[in-house]
Amino acid sequence: MEMEISFGERELDVMGVLWELGSGTVTEVREALPTTLAYTTVLTILRNLEGKGLVRHEGEGKAYRYFPVVARQAARRSALSRLVDKLFHGSPEALVAQLVHDRGLDAAELERLSRALRDDEAATREDA
């Protein structure tokens, strides 16, 4: 069974920075965030993420360097699973239909999506 990975909005912003940078000190993460947060706020978020087992730290001089423990793909998978279950009654088709409707995908985008799904299905069959 896969671990459920759940982030608050600010936690997700911090994880996004760590995934992009590979690691970061509180100051580095703070400077890379899309919104301005206090140093102590970023530190608290990182400590909370560490408490959840989603990041780890190593000493670096007087500071700590934080590393993501969970891969972005695993977080995507967990978040999408929760989204499909809670908002789309377990129907991935309903999620895709909502995205197509809301994003106004054109014929070329729908064709690329269809091709990607066919390629993924073929790859899955080859792996089985």
Split the chain (128 residues) into runs of 10 and give each run's mean pLDDT.
72 94 97 95 96 94 94 85 89 88 86 88 76
Closest by Cα among 10, 14, 1 to 72:
14
Distance of CA 75 to the CA centre of its chain: 4
Task: Please report how the helices 39-51 and 9-21 are oriented relative to each other, as an axis angle in degrees rounded to 10.
Answer: 90
DSSP H or E stretch at residue 91:
none
Q: Which residue has the tokens 């706020």?
A: 41
- Here the tokens at position 89 are 């009654």
Task: Report residue 45 CA to chain centroid gap.
Answer: 16
